[in-house]
Structure 1
Amino acid sequence: MASLPGGVRTRLWRDGLLVADDFPLDDVSEHLTDDRALVWVDLCDPGHEQLSALAAELTLDEHAVEDAIARGERTKTARYPTHTFLTVYATHLERPSGAVGGIESRLRTTRVSAFVLPRGVVTVRRGGPFDLDEVVSRWDDHADLIQYGTGALLHGLLDVIVDGQFDTIQALDDAIETIEDGLFGDTAPTRATQHRIYRLRKELVQLRRVVLPMREVVTAIMRHRADHGNNAELDGWYTDLYDHVIRATEWTESLRDMVTTVFETNLSLQDARLNTVMKKLTGWAAIIAVPTAVTGWYGMNVPYPGFGHGWGVLVSSVVIAGSAGLLYLVFKRRDWL
């Protein structure tokens, strides 16, 4: 088989020790026949023909190959006679490039599919950027686990992805707290705040789609750990990973409830502010109605007390000022102004 062009990384361990890095793809099949070897192959945005060529050599199921290339594939895991296939999503939040109050989602996902063979793992990445160096560093930091086979590689990959999801959830949590502080601030929420609330709701919906199914993925891997080389030494690591997935799931659900509460609170505060404005306008209208009524009375073409005398103007002015002042004090005491 000809070597695949670009976007390819390979690694080879033997007896738990790293012996080769970025070796040719032509050697993958040979290394997989070695009982002492552990192989990792990563393909970034491969074409259908490229992945099919590798799949034919490694006897990968054609349905799994199609799932690794198809768009919009859901988070899942599936078992086949020769391997286990899974699809998960790494997440991160981009900094908004436009207006702060924009409604475009900042959530970016990278689909990571993995073919877990008895002595090797093939990963296929599609979509946004995903830092594989962090995965490799995780493997190097726990090099003593490599001796336990593909289960160690799979754990390191999933652990990095779940940690990235935690970072995304934390960022959304911080954003919600910022909006909460603004809701009860001295200034009224602006349209930008409404846009941010809507954007957060959209991002949480997208995040739930990739975070919630992780529970079933990790559960399936733990249930069939013998299929991909896991043993008792890795049980504690996978239990800890499962605990992280549960925490991420519960946190995501709580954030959805929180952002819903923020949205409803924003609407309630807008209604309350509208009522306050209407109350103040009504109070000032009542105050203004007093001089209008007095001047209207004295403006009639009939004699009135003080008609034709200077003290009549003085009396009318005192009536206007006294009545308006009294209404102002009453409304102020009742917090209408």
Structure 2
Amino acid sequence: MQAAGGNGDAAEAAGAARAGFFCRLFDARGNAQAISQCSLAACQPARDTLAWVDLCDPSDEQVDAVWAAWKLPQAARPFLDGGSVPEVGQNEAFFWVRAVVAGGGDNKDRINGVVLVCVAGADRVVTFRREPVAFLEDMRTQQPGRVGVLGAESFVATVLDRLLGSYFKAIDEHELAIERLEVSILGKGACDALKELQRLRRWASRLRRMLAPHRVVFGAMSRPDFRPDEGREADRHFNALNMRFERALDMVENARDQVLGSFELFSNQTALRTNQAMRVLTFVTVVTGLMATIVGALGMNFGAGLFDSGDAGFYAALAGLVAMGLGAFVLGRRQHWF
């Protein structure tokens, strides 16, 4: 293992990290050595060591310097800013992967994606993104463990596994939002639930559109002809990664079904409230119709003695109508008609 070090290199590495360049050399004993950009060409990982360069929104000069120092394949260079469609490629010594990390973003109505590119081979890995990625920032600061014993393929599998973890986290947040919405629907907030249902539906559909194209990547990496010289360890990691992807895709599909289930609950609650309102209106219509019939009968022009009762008769009839209305209300409440 050859690497330039010293306090000057450490200070330069720290400054480069702030500028978008981060490099660590891991060994099998759990040690991690900071490598500066100027010393990158001298960093030649040996057995049981692994070098990792992380580029966060670097300049073109920084990217060109990394490519030249490690003699990375030029075919992988267009992957860095070549769009957001997940893809995978390889040659004899290296392979490169473009994937999309699920991120929350500042807008709660829309889930954002961050494009992540990994270039790996010969015990060295380069990760590239234009925006911060939470799990990569964690990997920069956490204790390395025995990362040096991992090959480049296994390290990339670890990164992609954390990438899938961002989708699982997004699904958990979606399920929590669904639970809160259903509680609101069953309570007094059913009238305000339609906009939230629309938001969650768009959210789940976008999450699926972000995750589904990765089938090409994880399917290709799990085939036997992908990196056949790296042994069964890499195959095992890539196969497990493909299974985890399929599980994530199933959970995203289930998230969309949950929105449909919540909409059915909203529709049933709306219909129930409508039925309750119609029952009240029907009850009021029957009572007022009966009162109108009585009032109409009292207004008939016959010479009956009842109609000669004067003010007393009027107030007695009025009190009787009020008593009838109150009695009907009490009866309806006891019978749970409304």
2:174 and 2:238 map into 1 onto residues whose CA distance is 26
1:42 and 1:179 map into 2 onto residues whose CA distance is 40
> Counterpart in 2 of 1:183?
185
Task: Kindly indicate whether the alpha-carbon contact (under 8 Å) linking 1:89 and 1:109 is maintained by their aligned counterparts in 2.
Answer: yes
Deviations 1:102-128 (A, max 9, x none): x723x3433211112333111102234
Task: Kindly indicate whether the alpha-carbon contact (under 8 Å) linking 1:77 and 1:87 is maintained by their aligned counterparts in 2.
Answer: yes
Matched, 1:247 2:259: no
Matched, 1:269 2:269: yes
> Counterpart in 2 of 1:10?
23
> Counterpart in 2 of 1:126?
130
Task: Kindly indicate whether the alpha-carbon contact (under 8 Å) linking 1:225 and 1:231 is maintained by their aligned counterparts in 2.
Answer: no
> Counterpart in 2 of 1:209?
209
Q: C-alpha displacement at 1:163, in angstroms?
A: 2.4
Among residues 33, 49, 53, which one is paired with 1:41 in the alignment?
53
Q: C-alpha displacement at 1:195, in angstroms?
A: 3.0
Among residues 158, 170, 187, which one is paired with 2:172 in the alignment?
170
Q: C-alpha displacement at 1:266, in angstroms?
A: 1.0
> Counterpart in 1 of 2:85?
74
5+ residue gaps, structure 1: 97-102
Task: Kindly indicate whether the alpha-carbon contact (under 8 Å) linking 2:123 and 2:151 is maintained by their aligned counterparts in 1.
Answer: yes
Matched, 1:60 2:44: no
> Counterpart in 2 of 1:99?
none
State the SS of the aligned residue for 1:111.
strand
Give TM-score scaled by structure 2 length.
Answer: 0.77
CA pair 225-178 structure 1, distance change in 2 beyond 3 A:
farther
CA pair 161-274 structure 1, distance change in 2 beyond 3 A:
same
Q: C-alpha displacement at 1:8, in angstroms?
A: 0.7
CA pair 214-137 structure 1, distance change in 2 beyond 3 A:
farther
Deviations 1:162-182 (A, max 9, x none): 223222212221221222233
2:230 and 2:176 map into 1 onto residues whose CA distance is 37
1:304 and 1:112 map into 2 onto residues whose CA distance is 96
Among residues 151, 155, 158, which one is paired with 2:157 in the alignment?
155
2:30 and 2:219 map into 1 onto residues whose CA distance is 29
CA pair 82-282 structure 1, distance change in 2 beyond 3 A:
same
| 1:174-323 map, 5 Å | 174-185=176-187, 187-191=188-192, 193-223=193-223, 227=227, 230-299=230-299, 303=303, 306-310=306-310, 312-313=313-314, 316-317=317-318, 320=321
Task: Kindly indicate whether the alpha-carbon contact (under 8 Å) linking 1:42 and 1:124 is maintained by their aligned counterparts in 2.
Answer: yes
Q: C-alpha displacement at 1:226, in angstroms?
A: 6.0
Task: Kindly indicate whether the alpha-carbon contact (under 8 Å) linking 2:53 and 2:127 is maintained by their aligned counterparts in 1.
Answer: yes
Count of residues in correspondence between the two structures = 321
Aligned CA-pair RMSD: 3.6
CA pair 236-80 structure 1, distance change in 2 beyond 3 A:
closer
Task: Kindly indicate whether the alpha-carbon contact (under 8 Å) linking 2:56 and 2:131 is maintained by their aligned counterparts in 1.
Answer: no
> Counterpart in 2 of 1:22?
34
Q: C-alpha displacement at 1:69, in angstroms?
A: 2.0
1:267 and 1:188 map into 2 onto residues whose CA distance is 13
CA pair 276-332 structure 1, distance change in 2 beyond 3 A:
same
Matched, 1:88 2:99: yes
Deviations 1:67-89 (A, max 9, x none): 32245x02332234653221223
CA pair 40-265 structure 1, distance change in 2 beyond 3 A:
same
Task: Kindly indicate whether the alpha-carbon contact (under 8 Å) linking 1:115 and 1:121 is maintained by their aligned counterparts in 2.
Answer: yes
